Amino acid sequence: MITLEIVSLRHLSQGGRCWSTGNAYYTPENLAFRKTTWQSTSHDATISGPERAVDGLKKDRSYLGRQCSVSSVHQITASWWVNLGGILSINNILIYYRTDNMPWNENNIYTTRFLGFSVYISNTTDRNGGISCFNDTNYTKFTIPDHVNISCPTYGQYVIYYNERLQGVSYPDDYYPYAFVELCEVEVYGCPIPGYYGSDCSLPCPDSNCRYCHIQSGVCVGCEFGYQGHQCEQQCNQSFYGELCSEKCGNFTDIRTCNHVNGTCTNGCDVGVYGDKCKIACPVGWHGHNCSQMCSNCDQCDRLTGQCTSPCYPGWKGLFCRDECDGGRHGQDCEQRCGACLGYKQCHHINGSCLEGCDAGFEGELCTTGCSSGKFGINCEEVCNDKCGEPNKCNGTTGECEGGCQPGWEGLHCKNGNIYQSPSVYQH
């Protein structure tokens, strides 16, 4: 383990910068100082909140001294963490436990509360997803110190303190029955910027594309996004990108264009997805490459194929709702019959209107209304003969008079006058 220079609070407040031959470098400093903290419970947040453990104060290690974070009583688990503000290289962790300013020996009750604690370093607040730096299984109330210095050369963003007294689990007789957080100070020493190592954090990680290296040896322990290999010399394999090359590329038109660092593409997305990483499913009503095509004549369709999954709009049919109604039908689901369009032609597939007018005997936009009285023929544009038996009343289709003709007229349409010979013609 390297020898650390424990710098003063004044030095820490100035960022811990040292200067040598005109170049700035950093001494390992307390990365936890006044950083964001959290704990599972607080006995009194105004007196013993989680931030008390990173305020730089530890002279009074009692509850009322307002320099220690203290959790609630009767807990089966107790947890506390500090967010270092970013993923940094860490060397060691100093933990000062609550003593209530009494002699630290087997008669001090806080020794039994400290027993069994664990420390983790993680990139998230989930301790189980991080690295276990320490798990007390050997200390007793006779041997546990009031402060510990834990060597844990690794990298991470969260330092997590955890203790438990689970029901149904047998613990050593020395252990207090409940779990506590009683931390008067937690100091995390390491390099304040990534990519450096050494006793004074002045040495850049030797491998190119190395994001984090071992703070003592400089061996790369974490590659830059998009790289892999023992020396971070290899780009991510095809179809993968990002940190640890663990992110899978989206659905690109050309998978080879997935950027190995950030996963973006340059040649567009495959069908059904859009976005700079081609991972966002098409919104409702869109489909195809880059989600650039609207569903055809329906509200919803399959984002990959464009096949409609909701009913077609009126006047359309087929799996993709691209075919107009035909066969003399129109409207929703093509269930409505066309009227008497001229020449038996197809009506408008949506509204059923006859674009070229009506056949004989019908009128109106839809050609479903018979001719009004006194009218007949195509579009009911002709007038019944007034010589019909019932004047101006005839068949709407043919114009044939109903009730025969008036005296002196004959024919189906009563247009022919009768020719009578005078009786004198036959007299001799």
Q: pLDDT of 341-371, one tens digit each?
A: 999 899 999 999 999 999 999 999 999 999 9
CATH number at 153 reads: 2.60.120.260
299-328 in b/e form (b: 16+ CB < 10 A) is eebbbeebebeeebebbbbeebbebebeee
Number of domains in the chain: 1
Q: How far apart are CA 350 and CA 152, in angstroms?
A: 74
Percent of the chain with pLDDT over 90: 74
Question: Is a pLDDT exceeding 80 seen at residue 107?
Answer: yes
The Cβ-side half-sphere exposure at 354, using a 13 Å CA radius, reads 24
Cβ-proximal residues to 202 (8 Å cutoff; 6+ apart), any chain: 20, 23, 25, 26, 196
266 confidence band (pLDDT: 50, 70, 90): confident
Question: Is a pLDDT exceeding 50 seen at residue 11?
Answer: no
Question: Is a pLDDT exceeding 50 seen at residue 424?
Answer: no
Q: For position 395, what pLDDT does the model report?
A: 94
DSSP E strands, 98-146: 118-122, 131-135
Q: For position 419, what pLDDT does the model report?
A: 54
In this structure, what are the phi and psi dihedrals at residue 415, rounded to the nearest 5 degrees? -100, -5
Cβ-proximal residues to 160 (8 Å cutoff; 6+ apart), any chain: 79, 80, 81, 119, 120, 121, 122, 125, 127, 130
Q: How far is CA 115 from CA 70, 73, 135, 141, 177, in A?
A: 16, 16, 10, 7, 11
* Any domain includes 15: no
pLDDT tens-digit map of 216-258: 889 988 899 999 998 899 999 888 999 889 999 888 876 566 8
* Any domain includes 286: no
Residue 240, number of CB atoms within 10 A of its CB: 18
Q: How far apart are CA 35 and CA 192, in angstroms?
A: 13
* Residue (of 84, 52, 85) closest to 68 by Cα position: 52
Q: How far apart are CA 139 and CA 114, in angstroms?
A: 9
Q: How far is CA 232 from CA 149, 194, 235, in A?
A: 32, 15, 8
Residue 172, number of CB atoms within 10 A of its CB: 12
pLDDT tens-digit map of 35-93: 999 999 999 999 999 999 999 999 999 999 999 999 999 999 999 999 999 999 999 99
* Any domain includes 390: no
Q: How far apart are CA 258 and CA 277, in angstroms?
A: 8
Q: Are 219 and 213 in contact (CB under 8 A)?
A: yes
Q: How far apart are CA 80 and CA 69, in angstroms?
A: 9
Question: Is a pLDDT exceeding 90 seen at residue 193?
Answer: no
20 confidence band (pLDDT: 50, 70, 90): very low
Residue 112's SS3 state is helix
338 confidence band (pLDDT: 50, 70, 90): very high
* Any domain includes 69: yes
Question: Is a pLDDT exceeding 90 seen at residue 401?
Answer: yes
Q: For position 255, what pLDDT does the model report?
A: 57
* Any domain includes 404: no
Residue type at position 252: F
Backbone dihedral region for residue 298 (phi beyond 0: left; psi -120 to 50: alpha; all else: beta): beta
Question: Is a pLDDT exceeding 80 seen at residue 277?
Answer: yes
* Any domain includes 413: no
Question: Is a pLDDT exceeding 80 seen at residue 204?
Answer: yes
pLDDT tens-digit map of 310-329: 999 999 999 999 999 999 99
Average pLDDT, the chain: 88
Q: How far apart are CA 381 and CA 342, in angstroms?
A: 13
* Any domain includes 162: yes
Cβ-proximal residues to 426 (8 Å cutoff; 6+ apart), any chain: none
Question: Is a pLDDT exceeding 60 seen at residue 26?
Answer: no
What is the arithmetic mean of pLDDT over 264-281? Answer: 89
Q: For position 283, what pLDDT does the model report?
A: 95
What is the arithmetic mean of pLDDT over 149-159? Answer: 95
Q: How far is CA 159 from CA 38, 113, 130, in A?
A: 11, 20, 9
Q: For position 38, what pLDDT does the model report?
A: 98
Q: For position 252, what pLDDT does the model report?
A: 80
Question: Is a pLDDT exceeding 60 seen at residue 22?
Answer: no
Which one-letter DSSP state was computed for residue 146? S
* Residue (of 246, 237, 240, 303) closest to 269 by Cα position: 303
* Any domain includes 166: yes
* Residue (of 201, 185, 181) closest to 23 by Cα position: 201
122 confidence band (pLDDT: 50, 70, 90): very high
167 confidence band (pLDDT: 50, 70, 90): very high
Which one-letter DSSP state was computed for residue 47? H
The first and second tokens of residue 279, run together, are 């991972």
Q: For position 261, what pLDDT does the model report?
A: 93
* Residue (of 53, 95, 94) closest to 70 by Cα position: 53
The CA radius of gyration of the chain, in Å to the nearest whole number, is 45
Query: Does pTM top 0.75 for this prediction?
Result: no
Q: Supply the range of the domain harboring residue 106.
A: 30-197
Q: How far apart are the first and last CA of the chain?
A: 159
Question: Is a pLDDT exceeding 90 seen at residue 170?
Answer: yes
